[in-house]
Amino acid sequence: MNLATALHYVSYTAKSVSKFVPAVLKTGLVDLSAPPKVTAALIPNLSRYWFSLARELEQAVAAVPDQLALIDDDGTLTYRQFREDSRTLARYLTSLGLDELRIGVMARNGRGILLPMAAKGYAGAAIYLLNVGSSPEQILGTVEENDINVLILDDEFEQCAPLDRPGTLTLIAHASRPHDNLGTVHDIVSHPERVASVKLPAFPKHGPIVLMSSGTSGIPKGVVRPEPKLPYVVAGVVRAIPFKAGMRIQMTASMFHTWGWAVSNIAFAARSTVITQRNFDPETVLKQIQKYRIEGLYSSPIFLKQMLQIEGQESYDTSSLQFIASSGHALTPEIVRSVNDRFGPILCNIYGSTELTLAASATAAEIEADPTVAGEITAGTVLKILGPDGAELPTGSIGRICLRNSTSLTGYTNPDIPIVSDDEGLIEIGDLGFIDEQNRLHVLGRIDDMIIVGGENVFPRSVEEILEPMPGVADLTAMGVEDAETFSRIAVWVVREDSPEGDALTEDSIRDWVARHLAGHSVPRDVHFVDDLPRNATGKVVPRFLTE
Protein backbone atom coordinates (compact mmCIF):
# COMPACT_ATOMS: atom_id res chain seq x y z
CA MET A 1 0.00 0.00 0.00
CA ASN A 2 1.50 3.34 -1.03
CA LEU A 3 1.53 6.48 1.12
CA ALA A 4 -1.38 8.12 -0.71
CA THR A 5 -3.55 5.05 -0.19
CA ALA A 6 -2.55 4.80 3.48
CA LEU A 7 -3.45 8.45 4.08
CA HIS A 8 -6.76 7.89 2.29
CA TYR A 9 -7.64 5.01 4.65
CA VAL A 10 -6.66 7.05 7.72
CA SER A 11 -8.88 9.89 6.50
CA TYR A 12 -11.91 7.67 5.83
CA THR A 13 -11.51 5.94 9.21
CA ALA A 14 -11.56 9.30 10.99
CA LYS A 15 -14.63 10.33 9.01
CA SER A 16 -16.28 6.98 9.80
CA VAL A 17 -15.80 7.42 13.54
CA SER A 18 -17.10 11.00 13.36
CA LYS A 19 -20.30 9.72 11.69
CA PHE A 20 -20.67 6.51 13.70
CA VAL A 21 -20.74 8.07 17.17
CA PRO A 22 -23.51 10.64 16.46
CA ALA A 23 -25.51 7.97 14.63
CA VAL A 24 -25.38 5.61 17.59
CA LEU A 25 -26.46 8.37 19.97
CA LYS A 26 -29.23 9.51 17.61
CA THR A 27 -30.95 6.12 17.54
CA GLY A 28 -30.68 5.42 21.25
CA LEU A 29 -28.41 2.41 20.73
CA VAL A 30 -26.41 4.02 23.50
CA ASP A 31 -28.65 5.86 25.96
CA LEU A 32 -26.63 8.37 27.95
CA SER A 33 -29.57 8.90 30.30
CA ALA A 34 -29.77 5.19 31.17
CA PRO A 35 -29.22 4.01 34.77
CA PRO A 36 -25.53 3.67 35.74
CA LYS A 37 -25.66 -0.16 35.68
CA VAL A 38 -26.78 -0.09 32.02
CA THR A 39 -24.03 2.33 30.99
CA ALA A 40 -21.49 0.36 33.01
CA ALA A 41 -22.33 -2.79 31.05
CA LEU A 42 -21.47 -1.24 27.67
CA ILE A 43 -17.70 -1.74 27.62
CA PRO A 44 -17.61 -5.19 29.29
CA ASN A 45 -20.30 -6.52 26.92
CA LEU A 46 -18.54 -5.10 23.90
CA SER A 47 -15.15 -6.49 24.92
CA ARG A 48 -16.60 -9.96 25.56
CA TYR A 49 -19.13 -10.32 22.75
CA TRP A 50 -18.16 -7.64 20.18
CA PHE A 51 -21.18 -6.57 18.08
CA SER A 52 -22.75 -10.03 18.08
CA LEU A 53 -26.38 -10.87 18.82
CA ALA A 54 -25.19 -12.08 22.23
CA ARG A 55 -24.00 -8.55 23.02
CA GLU A 56 -27.29 -7.06 21.89
CA LEU A 57 -29.19 -9.37 24.26
CA GLU A 58 -26.88 -8.69 27.20
CA GLN A 59 -27.25 -4.95 26.79
CA ALA A 60 -31.02 -5.17 26.30
CA VAL A 61 -31.45 -7.29 29.44
CA ALA A 62 -29.49 -4.70 31.41
CA ALA A 63 -31.86 -1.99 30.15
CA VAL A 64 -35.30 -3.52 29.43
CA PRO A 65 -35.36 -7.20 30.52
CA ASP A 66 -39.13 -7.61 30.43
CA GLN A 67 -39.77 -5.86 27.12
CA LEU A 68 -41.00 -8.08 24.29
CA ALA A 69 -38.10 -8.89 21.98
CA LEU A 70 -39.74 -11.28 19.52
CA ILE A 71 -43.19 -12.21 18.26
CA ASP A 72 -42.98 -15.13 15.85
CA ASP A 73 -44.96 -18.21 14.78
CA ASP A 74 -43.99 -19.95 18.04
CA GLY A 75 -45.18 -17.22 20.40
CA THR A 76 -43.38 -14.43 22.21
CA LEU A 77 -40.05 -13.92 23.96
CA THR A 78 -39.02 -11.11 26.30
CA TYR A 79 -35.41 -10.01 26.18
CA ARG A 80 -34.76 -11.89 29.41
CA GLN A 81 -36.27 -15.10 27.98
CA PHE A 82 -34.44 -14.63 24.68
CA ARG A 83 -31.13 -14.23 26.52
CA GLU A 84 -31.69 -17.21 28.83
CA ASP A 85 -32.80 -19.54 26.01
CA SER A 86 -29.75 -18.52 23.96
CA ARG A 87 -27.43 -19.15 26.90
CA THR A 88 -29.02 -22.54 27.55
CA LEU A 89 -28.52 -23.56 23.93
CA ALA A 90 -24.92 -22.29 24.10
CA ARG A 91 -24.29 -24.39 27.23
CA TYR A 92 -25.70 -27.44 25.51
CA LEU A 93 -23.47 -26.89 22.48
CA THR A 94 -20.46 -26.32 24.75
CA SER A 95 -21.22 -29.57 26.61
CA LEU A 96 -20.67 -31.53 23.39
CA GLY A 97 -16.94 -31.10 23.97
CA LEU A 98 -16.10 -30.36 20.34
CA ASP A 99 -12.64 -28.92 19.68
CA GLU A 100 -14.11 -26.40 17.27
CA LEU A 101 -17.83 -25.72 17.15
CA ARG A 102 -19.13 -25.25 13.59
CA ILE A 103 -22.88 -24.68 13.52
CA GLY A 104 -24.92 -24.91 10.35
CA VAL A 105 -28.41 -23.39 10.48
CA MET A 106 -31.13 -23.90 7.88
CA ALA A 107 -34.18 -22.16 9.27
CA ARG A 108 -36.75 -19.56 8.32
CA ASN A 109 -37.44 -16.34 10.22
CA GLY A 110 -38.06 -16.75 13.93
CA ARG A 111 -36.37 -18.15 17.02
CA GLY A 112 -35.26 -21.21 15.04
CA ILE A 113 -32.50 -19.14 13.45
CA LEU A 114 -32.15 -16.41 16.09
CA LEU A 115 -31.36 -18.66 19.07
CA PRO A 116 -28.42 -20.35 17.29
CA MET A 117 -27.18 -16.94 16.09
CA ALA A 118 -27.09 -15.69 19.69
CA ALA A 119 -25.70 -18.99 21.06
CA LYS A 120 -22.83 -18.64 18.59
CA GLY A 121 -21.73 -15.47 20.40
CA TYR A 122 -21.96 -17.03 23.86
CA ALA A 123 -20.26 -20.34 23.07
CA GLY A 124 -17.60 -19.08 20.69
CA ALA A 125 -18.26 -20.79 17.37
CA ALA A 126 -18.39 -20.43 13.63
CA ILE A 127 -21.89 -20.26 12.18
CA TYR A 128 -23.03 -21.08 8.66
CA LEU A 129 -26.40 -19.64 7.62
CA LEU A 130 -27.61 -22.04 4.92
CA ASN A 131 -29.87 -20.90 2.12
CA VAL A 132 -33.31 -22.49 2.61
CA GLY A 133 -33.60 -23.02 -1.14
CA SER A 134 -30.64 -25.39 -1.25
CA SER A 135 -31.04 -28.89 -2.70
CA PRO A 136 -30.08 -32.06 -0.75
CA GLU A 137 -26.87 -32.30 -2.80
CA GLN A 138 -26.00 -28.68 -2.02
CA ILE A 139 -26.67 -29.14 1.71
CA LEU A 140 -24.50 -32.26 1.84
CA GLY A 141 -21.76 -30.50 -0.11
CA THR A 142 -21.86 -27.50 2.24
CA VAL A 143 -21.78 -29.69 5.37
CA GLU A 144 -18.87 -31.74 4.04
CA GLU A 145 -16.89 -28.82 2.61
CA ASN A 146 -17.06 -26.94 5.93
CA ASP A 147 -17.04 -29.98 8.22
CA ILE A 148 -20.16 -28.70 10.01
CA ASN A 149 -20.51 -30.71 13.23
CA VAL A 150 -23.88 -29.37 14.45
CA LEU A 151 -26.72 -28.91 11.96
CA ILE A 152 -29.82 -27.06 13.20
CA LEU A 153 -32.74 -27.01 10.80
CA ASP A 154 -36.50 -26.60 10.58
CA ASP A 155 -38.16 -29.97 10.22
CA GLU A 156 -39.53 -29.06 6.78
CA PHE A 157 -35.94 -29.52 5.58
CA GLU A 158 -35.42 -32.82 7.38
CA GLN A 159 -35.73 -34.86 4.17
CA CYS A 160 -32.99 -32.77 2.55
CA ALA A 161 -30.46 -33.10 5.37
CA PRO A 162 -27.62 -35.66 5.72
CA LEU A 163 -29.01 -37.04 8.98
CA ASP A 164 -26.72 -40.07 8.98
CA ARG A 165 -23.43 -38.25 8.39
CA PRO A 166 -20.84 -39.32 10.98
CA GLY A 167 -19.59 -36.44 13.06
CA THR A 168 -22.61 -34.19 12.49
CA LEU A 169 -25.28 -33.84 15.16
CA THR A 170 -28.68 -32.76 13.83
CA LEU A 171 -31.14 -30.74 15.91
CA ILE A 172 -34.61 -29.56 14.93
CA ALA A 173 -35.14 -25.78 15.14
CA HIS A 174 -38.83 -25.28 14.31
CA ALA A 175 -40.80 -28.46 14.96
CA SER A 176 -44.18 -28.83 13.27
CA ARG A 177 -44.67 -32.34 14.69
CA PRO A 178 -43.25 -34.52 17.49
CA HIS A 179 -39.72 -35.81 17.00
CA ASP A 180 -38.57 -38.96 18.73
CA ASN A 181 -35.44 -39.62 16.70
CA LEU A 182 -33.89 -36.14 16.80
CA GLY A 183 -33.35 -33.60 19.55
CA THR A 184 -35.11 -30.26 19.30
CA VAL A 185 -34.00 -26.79 20.27
CA HIS A 186 -37.31 -26.35 22.10
CA ASP A 187 -36.60 -29.37 24.34
CA ILE A 188 -33.07 -28.12 25.05
CA VAL A 189 -34.08 -24.58 26.08
CA SER A 190 -37.07 -25.90 28.06
CA HIS A 191 -34.72 -27.70 30.45
CA PRO A 192 -31.94 -25.29 31.43
CA GLU A 193 -31.31 -27.36 34.57
CA ARG A 194 -29.77 -30.13 32.47
CA VAL A 195 -26.83 -27.92 31.48
CA ALA A 196 -26.79 -25.47 34.39
CA SER A 197 -23.34 -26.67 35.50
CA VAL A 198 -21.74 -26.04 32.08
CA LYS A 199 -19.61 -22.91 32.10
CA LEU A 200 -19.62 -20.60 29.11
CA PRO A 201 -16.32 -18.93 28.13
CA ALA A 202 -15.81 -15.53 29.74
CA PHE A 203 -14.29 -14.26 26.50
CA PRO A 204 -15.62 -16.42 23.67
CA LYS A 205 -13.45 -17.13 20.65
CA HIS A 206 -15.55 -15.46 17.97
CA GLY A 207 -15.55 -17.56 14.85
CA PRO A 208 -16.72 -16.18 11.51
CA ILE A 209 -20.25 -15.70 10.25
CA VAL A 210 -20.66 -17.50 6.93
CA LEU A 211 -23.54 -16.56 4.65
CA MET A 212 -24.20 -18.77 1.66
CA SER A 213 -24.80 -17.61 -1.89
CA SER A 214 -27.96 -18.66 -3.71
CA GLY A 215 -25.96 -21.42 -5.37
CA THR A 216 -27.61 -21.65 -8.78
CA SER A 217 -25.42 -24.70 -9.44
CA GLY A 218 -22.93 -26.71 -7.43
CA ILE A 219 -22.08 -26.08 -3.80
CA PRO A 220 -23.15 -22.56 -2.72
CA LYS A 221 -20.27 -20.17 -2.07
CA GLY A 222 -19.66 -19.63 1.64
CA VAL A 223 -18.98 -15.92 2.22
CA VAL A 224 -16.83 -15.54 5.34
CA ARG A 225 -17.06 -12.35 7.34
CA PRO A 226 -15.84 -11.54 10.84
CA GLU A 227 -18.03 -10.75 13.83
CA PRO A 228 -17.81 -6.93 13.72
CA LYS A 229 -16.05 -5.09 16.54
CA LEU A 230 -17.16 -1.62 15.49
CA PRO A 231 -19.65 -1.68 12.58
CA TYR A 232 -19.19 1.76 11.06
CA VAL A 233 -21.77 0.86 8.41
CA VAL A 234 -24.49 1.35 11.01
CA ALA A 235 -24.04 5.08 10.42
CA GLY A 236 -25.17 4.57 6.84
CA VAL A 237 -28.27 2.68 7.93
CA VAL A 238 -29.12 5.38 10.45
CA ARG A 239 -28.60 8.07 7.83
CA ALA A 240 -31.21 6.53 5.54
CA ILE A 241 -33.61 4.86 7.96
CA PRO A 242 -35.20 6.92 10.75
CA PHE A 243 -35.29 4.12 13.31
CA LYS A 244 -35.00 4.67 17.03
CA ALA A 245 -34.65 2.49 20.09
CA GLY A 246 -37.70 0.54 21.21
CA MET A 247 -39.62 0.55 17.93
CA ARG A 248 -41.98 -2.21 16.78
CA ILE A 249 -40.42 -3.73 13.67
CA GLN A 250 -41.82 -6.14 11.07
CA MET A 251 -39.03 -8.32 9.68
CA THR A 252 -39.96 -9.61 6.24
CA ALA A 253 -36.31 -9.73 5.12
CA SER A 254 -34.98 -13.32 5.31
CA MET A 255 -32.68 -13.62 8.33
CA PHE A 256 -30.37 -16.16 6.66
CA HIS A 257 -29.62 -13.58 3.96
CA THR A 258 -27.23 -10.64 4.43
CA TRP A 259 -29.98 -8.00 4.52
CA GLY A 260 -32.12 -9.83 7.08
CA TRP A 261 -29.13 -10.87 9.20
CA ALA A 262 -27.78 -7.32 9.34
CA VAL A 263 -31.01 -5.50 10.21
CA SER A 264 -32.03 -8.18 12.72
CA ASN A 265 -28.84 -7.44 14.67
CA ILE A 266 -29.49 -3.71 14.42
CA ALA A 267 -33.12 -4.09 15.52
CA PHE A 268 -32.18 -6.06 18.64
CA ALA A 269 -29.30 -3.67 19.35
CA ALA A 270 -31.94 -0.93 19.38
CA ARG A 271 -34.07 -2.98 21.81
CA SER A 272 -36.89 -3.24 19.27
CA THR A 273 -39.82 -5.63 19.35
CA VAL A 274 -39.39 -7.72 16.20
CA ILE A 275 -42.49 -9.26 14.63
CA THR A 276 -41.92 -11.87 11.93
CA GLN A 277 -43.31 -14.98 10.25
CA ARG A 278 -41.59 -18.08 8.90
CA ASN A 279 -43.22 -17.97 5.47
CA PHE A 280 -43.95 -14.63 3.87
CA ASP A 281 -47.63 -13.94 3.39
CA PRO A 282 -48.41 -10.40 2.20
CA GLU A 283 -51.80 -10.16 3.88
CA THR A 284 -50.39 -11.41 7.19
CA VAL A 285 -47.86 -8.57 7.09
CA LEU A 286 -50.65 -6.03 6.60
CA LYS A 287 -52.59 -7.60 9.47
CA GLN A 288 -49.53 -7.44 11.73
CA ILE A 289 -48.90 -3.79 10.89
CA GLN A 290 -52.47 -2.99 11.91
CA LYS A 291 -52.59 -5.26 14.98
CA TYR A 292 -49.24 -4.35 16.53
CA ARG A 293 -49.10 -0.74 15.29
CA ILE A 294 -45.79 -1.53 13.62
CA GLU A 295 -43.51 1.46 13.09
CA GLY A 296 -40.86 0.05 10.75
CA LEU A 297 -40.83 -2.57 7.99
CA TYR A 298 -37.68 -4.26 6.65
CA SER A 299 -38.46 -5.86 3.32
CA SER A 300 -37.59 -6.23 -0.39
CA PRO A 301 -39.22 -4.83 -3.55
CA ILE A 302 -40.91 -8.08 -4.61
CA PHE A 303 -42.55 -8.48 -1.18
CA LEU A 304 -43.73 -4.87 -1.20
CA LYS A 305 -45.19 -5.41 -4.65
CA GLN A 306 -47.08 -8.50 -3.46
CA MET A 307 -48.52 -6.57 -0.52
CA LEU A 308 -49.90 -3.97 -2.90
CA GLN A 309 -51.53 -6.64 -5.06
CA ILE A 310 -53.67 -8.03 -2.20
CA GLU A 311 -57.35 -7.42 -2.86
CA GLY A 312 -58.64 -5.02 -0.25
CA GLN A 313 -55.14 -4.06 0.97
CA GLU A 314 -56.21 -0.42 1.18
CA SER A 315 -58.60 -1.30 4.05
CA TYR A 316 -55.76 -2.08 6.49
CA ASP A 317 -54.68 0.70 8.83
CA THR A 318 -50.95 1.19 8.26
CA SER A 319 -50.75 4.74 9.58
CA SER A 320 -48.34 3.68 12.33
CA LEU A 321 -45.55 3.01 9.80
CA GLN A 322 -42.74 5.55 10.00
CA PHE A 323 -40.41 3.89 7.52
CA ILE A 324 -40.15 1.05 5.01
CA ALA A 325 -36.58 -0.05 4.34
CA SER A 326 -35.90 -2.03 1.18
CA SER A 327 -32.89 -4.00 -0.04
CA GLY A 328 -32.01 -7.21 -1.83
CA HIS A 329 -33.25 -6.04 -5.22
CA ALA A 330 -33.20 -2.78 -7.13
CA LEU A 331 -36.14 -0.47 -6.63
CA THR A 332 -37.94 0.57 -9.79
CA PRO A 333 -39.77 3.86 -10.40
CA GLU A 334 -43.08 1.98 -10.50
CA ILE A 335 -42.53 0.29 -7.14
CA VAL A 336 -41.47 3.58 -5.56
CA ARG A 337 -44.55 5.33 -6.92
CA SER A 338 -46.92 2.55 -5.80
CA VAL A 339 -45.43 2.23 -2.31
CA ASN A 340 -45.39 5.97 -1.70
CA ASP A 341 -48.96 6.34 -2.99
CA ARG A 342 -50.13 3.67 -0.53
CA PHE A 343 -47.98 4.28 2.56
CA GLY A 344 -46.70 7.82 2.09
CA PRO A 345 -43.14 8.93 1.18
CA ILE A 346 -41.42 6.66 3.72
CA LEU A 347 -39.55 4.23 1.45
CA CYS A 348 -35.77 4.06 2.04
CA ASN A 349 -33.17 1.98 0.21
CA ILE A 350 -30.04 0.10 1.22
CA TYR A 351 -27.61 -1.15 -1.42
CA GLY A 352 -25.04 -3.88 -0.78
CA SER A 353 -24.25 -7.53 -1.41
CA THR A 354 -23.67 -10.86 0.32
CA GLU A 355 -19.92 -10.29 0.13
CA LEU A 356 -19.87 -6.63 1.13
CA THR A 357 -23.00 -5.93 3.22
CA LEU A 358 -23.80 -2.21 3.08
CA ALA A 359 -22.35 0.03 0.37
CA ALA A 360 -24.77 2.94 -0.01
CA SER A 361 -28.03 4.20 1.45
CA ALA A 362 -30.78 6.50 0.27
CA THR A 363 -33.31 8.38 2.38
CA ALA A 364 -37.01 8.46 1.61
CA ALA A 365 -36.67 12.00 0.28
CA GLU A 366 -33.82 10.97 -2.03
CA ILE A 367 -35.77 7.97 -3.33
CA GLU A 368 -38.88 10.05 -3.92
CA ALA A 369 -36.84 12.58 -5.90
CA ASP A 370 -34.91 9.95 -7.89
CA PRO A 371 -36.11 6.32 -7.66
CA THR A 372 -33.01 5.09 -9.51
CA VAL A 373 -30.44 6.30 -6.98
CA ALA A 374 -28.68 3.74 -4.74
CA GLY A 375 -27.69 6.51 -2.38
CA GLU A 376 -24.81 8.10 -0.54
CA ILE A 377 -21.75 5.95 0.04
CA THR A 378 -21.92 4.88 3.65
CA ALA A 379 -19.47 5.76 6.40
CA GLY A 380 -16.62 3.30 6.79
CA THR A 381 -16.74 2.37 3.10
CA VAL A 382 -14.15 3.06 0.45
CA LEU A 383 -15.93 2.83 -2.92
CA LYS A 384 -14.57 3.51 -6.38
CA ILE A 385 -15.76 3.06 -9.95
CA LEU A 386 -13.04 1.25 -11.89
CA GLY A 387 -12.56 0.82 -15.61
CA PRO A 388 -11.44 -2.30 -17.50
CA ASP A 389 -7.79 -1.46 -16.82
CA GLY A 390 -8.36 -1.08 -13.06
CA ALA A 391 -8.01 2.70 -13.07
CA GLU A 392 -10.51 4.85 -11.19
CA LEU A 393 -13.01 6.50 -13.52
CA PRO A 394 -14.16 10.14 -13.29
CA THR A 395 -17.54 11.28 -12.00
CA GLY A 396 -20.40 10.16 -14.22
CA SER A 397 -18.46 7.38 -15.97
CA ILE A 398 -19.89 3.86 -15.91
CA GLY A 399 -17.66 1.11 -14.57
CA ARG A 400 -17.22 -1.70 -12.08
CA ILE A 401 -18.31 -0.90 -8.52
CA CYS A 402 -15.51 -1.87 -6.11
CA LEU A 403 -15.40 -1.25 -2.37
CA ARG A 404 -14.38 -2.40 1.07
CA ASN A 405 -15.57 -1.77 4.64
CA SER A 406 -15.39 -3.25 8.14
CA THR A 407 -17.99 -5.93 7.37
CA SER A 408 -16.55 -7.05 4.02
CA LEU A 409 -15.85 -10.72 3.49
CA THR A 410 -12.43 -12.02 4.46
CA GLY A 411 -12.66 -14.83 1.92
CA TYR A 412 -14.71 -17.84 0.85
CA THR A 413 -14.93 -21.13 2.71
CA ASN A 414 -13.60 -22.77 -0.45
CA PRO A 415 -10.05 -21.38 -0.74
CA ASP A 416 -10.03 -22.13 -4.48
CA ILE A 417 -12.59 -19.36 -5.07
CA PRO A 418 -10.68 -16.10 -5.51
CA ILE A 419 -11.76 -12.70 -4.21
CA VAL A 420 -11.90 -10.32 -7.18
CA SER A 421 -10.07 -7.26 -5.84
CA ASP A 422 -7.52 -4.65 -6.84
CA ASP A 423 -4.14 -3.69 -5.40
CA GLU A 424 -5.81 -1.58 -2.70
CA GLY A 425 -8.01 -4.42 -1.50
CA LEU A 426 -11.19 -3.04 -3.05
CA ILE A 427 -13.53 -5.92 -3.82
CA GLU A 428 -15.64 -6.10 -6.95
CA ILE A 429 -19.32 -6.26 -6.02
CA GLY A 430 -20.35 -7.56 -9.46
CA ASP A 431 -22.40 -4.53 -10.52
CA LEU A 432 -21.89 -1.70 -12.99
CA GLY A 433 -22.67 1.84 -11.97
CA PHE A 434 -21.49 5.43 -11.67
CA ILE A 435 -21.16 8.20 -9.10
CA ASP A 436 -22.98 11.46 -9.83
CA GLU A 437 -22.03 15.07 -9.11
CA GLN A 438 -23.62 14.85 -5.63
CA ASN A 439 -21.36 11.87 -4.80
CA ARG A 440 -24.33 9.49 -4.92
CA LEU A 441 -24.09 5.99 -6.34
CA HIS A 442 -26.25 4.77 -9.24
CA VAL A 443 -26.40 1.05 -10.08
CA LEU A 444 -27.23 -0.05 -13.62
CA GLY A 445 -27.25 -3.82 -13.15
CA ARG A 446 -25.12 -6.91 -12.81
CA ILE A 447 -21.98 -7.08 -14.91
CA ASP A 448 -23.00 -10.57 -16.05
CA ASP A 449 -26.50 -9.37 -17.00
CA MET A 450 -25.41 -6.69 -19.44
CA ILE A 451 -25.59 -7.84 -23.05
CA ILE A 452 -24.43 -6.28 -26.30
CA VAL A 453 -27.04 -6.09 -29.06
CA GLY A 454 -25.75 -4.79 -32.38
CA GLY A 455 -22.91 -3.00 -30.62
CA GLU A 456 -25.15 -1.38 -28.00
CA ASN A 457 -25.05 -2.11 -24.25
CA VAL A 458 -28.42 -3.28 -22.96
CA PHE A 459 -29.35 -3.84 -19.30
CA PRO A 460 -32.32 -6.18 -18.75
CA ARG A 461 -33.32 -4.07 -15.74
CA SER A 462 -34.10 -1.11 -18.01
CA VAL A 463 -36.61 -3.27 -19.90
CA GLU A 464 -38.18 -4.47 -16.62
CA GLU A 465 -38.58 -0.89 -15.42
CA ILE A 466 -40.39 0.08 -18.63
CA LEU A 467 -42.73 -2.94 -18.61
CA GLU A 468 -43.58 -2.92 -14.90
CA PRO A 469 -46.21 -0.12 -15.10
CA MET A 470 -47.80 -1.54 -18.27
CA PRO A 471 -51.52 -2.27 -17.61
CA GLY A 472 -52.12 -5.98 -17.22
CA VAL A 473 -48.58 -6.92 -16.11
CA ALA A 474 -48.60 -8.53 -12.65
CA ASP A 475 -44.97 -9.67 -12.56
CA LEU A 476 -42.06 -10.03 -14.98
CA THR A 477 -38.37 -10.64 -15.43
CA ALA A 478 -36.00 -9.95 -18.33
CA MET A 479 -32.61 -11.35 -19.27
CA GLY A 480 -30.28 -11.86 -22.18
CA VAL A 481 -30.50 -14.89 -24.47
CA GLU A 482 -28.34 -16.02 -27.36
CA ASP A 483 -29.20 -14.80 -30.85
CA ALA A 484 -27.81 -16.10 -34.14
CA GLU A 485 -27.70 -12.68 -35.80
CA THR A 486 -26.84 -10.23 -33.02
CA PHE A 487 -25.26 -12.77 -30.60
CA SER A 488 -27.57 -11.61 -27.79
CA ARG A 489 -31.12 -10.29 -27.42
CA ILE A 490 -33.53 -9.56 -24.58
CA ALA A 491 -36.20 -12.10 -23.58
CA VAL A 492 -38.98 -11.43 -21.07
CA TRP A 493 -41.21 -13.67 -18.96
CA VAL A 494 -44.54 -12.04 -18.05
CA VAL A 495 -47.23 -12.97 -15.53
CA ARG A 496 -50.59 -11.55 -16.55
CA GLU A 497 -52.93 -9.81 -14.14
CA ASP A 498 -56.28 -11.47 -13.57
CA SER A 499 -58.03 -8.59 -15.34
CA PRO A 500 -59.26 -7.54 -18.79
CA GLU A 501 -55.95 -5.71 -19.28
CA GLY A 502 -54.05 -8.88 -18.43
CA ASP A 503 -56.17 -10.96 -20.82
CA ALA A 504 -55.47 -8.45 -23.58
CA LEU A 505 -51.68 -8.75 -23.36
CA THR A 506 -49.97 -10.24 -26.41
CA GLU A 507 -46.38 -10.71 -27.49
CA ASP A 508 -46.74 -7.83 -29.93
CA SER A 509 -48.30 -5.50 -27.36
CA ILE A 510 -45.36 -6.16 -25.03
CA ARG A 511 -42.86 -5.40 -27.80
CA ASP A 512 -44.76 -2.30 -28.90
CA TRP A 513 -44.79 -0.94 -25.33
CA VAL A 514 -41.01 -1.32 -25.06
CA ALA A 515 -40.48 0.14 -28.55
CA ARG A 516 -42.41 3.29 -27.55
CA HIS A 517 -40.07 3.91 -24.62
CA LEU A 518 -36.67 2.44 -25.51
CA ALA A 519 -34.41 2.04 -28.54
CA GLY A 520 -34.95 -0.85 -30.93
CA HIS A 521 -32.10 -2.96 -29.54
CA SER A 522 -33.98 -3.18 -26.19
CA VAL A 523 -37.17 -4.62 -27.71
CA PRO A 524 -37.55 -8.26 -26.58
CA ARG A 525 -37.00 -10.92 -29.18
CA ASP A 526 -38.90 -13.48 -27.06
CA VAL A 527 -41.97 -12.93 -24.90
CA HIS A 528 -43.06 -15.81 -22.65
CA PHE A 529 -46.35 -15.73 -20.71
CA VAL A 530 -46.15 -17.81 -17.52
CA ASP A 531 -48.44 -18.47 -14.55
CA ASP A 532 -45.76 -17.37 -12.06
CA LEU A 533 -42.04 -16.74 -11.77
CA PRO A 534 -39.75 -19.16 -9.92
CA ARG A 535 -38.54 -17.09 -6.99
CA ASN A 536 -36.40 -18.21 -4.07
CA ALA A 537 -36.96 -17.36 -0.40
CA THR A 538 -35.47 -13.88 -0.82
CA GLY A 539 -37.71 -13.13 -3.81
CA LYS A 540 -35.07 -13.40 -6.54
CA VAL A 541 -35.97 -15.14 -9.79
CA VAL A 542 -34.08 -18.42 -10.29
CA PRO A 543 -33.16 -18.38 -14.02
CA ARG A 544 -32.66 -22.13 -14.43
CA PHE A 545 -36.33 -22.74 -13.60
CA LEU A 546 -37.67 -20.35 -16.24
CA THR A 547 -39.52 -22.06 -19.07
CA GLU A 548 -38.34 -21.53 -22.62
Q: What is the largest CA-CA distance in the chain?
A: 73
Exposure string (b/e) for 283-315, b if CB count within 10 Å is 16 or more?
eebbebbeebebbbbbbbbbbbbbbbeeeebee
CA 119 to centroid of chain Cα atoms: 21
Instruction: Return the CATH fold of 31-220.
Output: Rossmann fold (3.40.50)
**Tens digit of each residue's pLDDT (9 = 90 or more) over 362-386:** 999 999 999 889 999 887 788 899 9
What was the pLDDT predicted at 5? 47
**Would you say residue 1 has pLDDT above 50?**
no
Q: What is the mean pLDDT of the chain?
A: 87
Quick one: average pLDDT of 336-349?
A: 96
| C-alpha–C-alpha distance, residues 290 and 277, integer Å | 15
What was the pLDDT predicted at 548? 65
Alpha helices in 50-184 (DSSP H): 53-63, 79-95, 111-123, 136-146
**Would you say residue 469 has pLDDT above 70?**
yes
More confident residue, 468 or 547: 468
Yes or no: say if 478 and 524 are a contact pair by the CB < 8 Å rule. yes
What was the pLDDT predicted at 426? 86
- The yes/no answer on whether domain 1-21+229-273+280-448 falls in CATH 3.40.50.12780 is yes
What was the pLDDT predicted at 22? 57
What was the pLDDT predicted at 16? 45
**Would you say residue 26 has pLDDT above 70?**
no
More confident residue, 283 or 485: 283
Yes or no: say if 260 and 253 are a contact pair by the CB < 8 Å rule. yes
**Would you say residue 543 has pLDDT above 50?**
yes
**Tens digit of each residue's pLDDT (9 = 90 or more) over 206-237:** 888 998 876 555 688 888 887 766 666 677 77
**Tens digit of each residue's pLDDT (9 = 90 or more) over 436-450:** 999 899 998 888 888
Which of 408, 390, 409, 410 has its CA nearest to residue 400? 390
Confidence of residue 55 (pLDDT cuts 50, 70, 90): very high
The amino acid occupying position 185 is V
Confidence of residue 395 (pLDDT cuts 50, 70, 90): very high
Q: Which residues contact 503 (CB under 8 A, 6 or more apart)?
A: 472, 496
More confident residue, 252 or 423: 252
**Would you say residue 88 has pLDDT above 80?**
yes
pTM of the model: 0.85
What was the pLDDT predicted at 537? 75
What was the pLDDT predicted at 212? 84
Confidence of residue 296 (pLDDT cuts 50, 70, 90): very high
Quick one: average pLDDT of 44-51?
A: 80
**Would you say residue 23 has pLDDT above 60?**
no
**Would you say residue 17 has pLDDT above 90?**
no
What was the pLDDT predicted at 295? 98
**Tens digit of each residue's pLDDT (9 = 90 or more) over 176-216:** 999 888 899 999 999 999 999 999 999 998 888 998 876 55
Which of 334, 174, 254, 314 has its CA nearest to residue 537? 254
- Other CB atoms within 10 A of residue 258 CB: 25
- SS3 string, 204-221, reads CCCCCEEEECCCCCCCCC
**Tens digit of each residue's pLDDT (9 = 90 or more) over 480-500:** 888 777 678 899 999 999 999
Quick one: average pLDDT of 392-403?
A: 92
**Would you say residue 338 has pLDDT above 80?**
yes
Q: Which residues contact 319 (CB under 8 A, 6 or more apart)?
A: none
**Would you say residue 345 has pLDDT above 60?**
yes
Same fold, 1-21+229-273+280-448 and 451-545: no
Yes or no: say if 347 and 364 are a contact pair by the CB < 8 Å rule. yes
**Would you say residue 27 has pLDDT above 60?**
no
**Would you say residue 41 has pLDDT above 80?**
no
The domain ranges of the chain are 1-21+229-273+280-448, 31-220, 451-545
**Would you say residue 18 has pLDDT above 60?**
no
The amino acid occupying position 167 is G
CATH superfamily of 451-545: ANL, C-terminal domain (3.30.300.30)
**Tens digit of each residue's pLDDT (9 = 90 or more) over 91-141:** 999 999 999 999 999 999 999 999 999 999 999 999 999 988 888 888 898
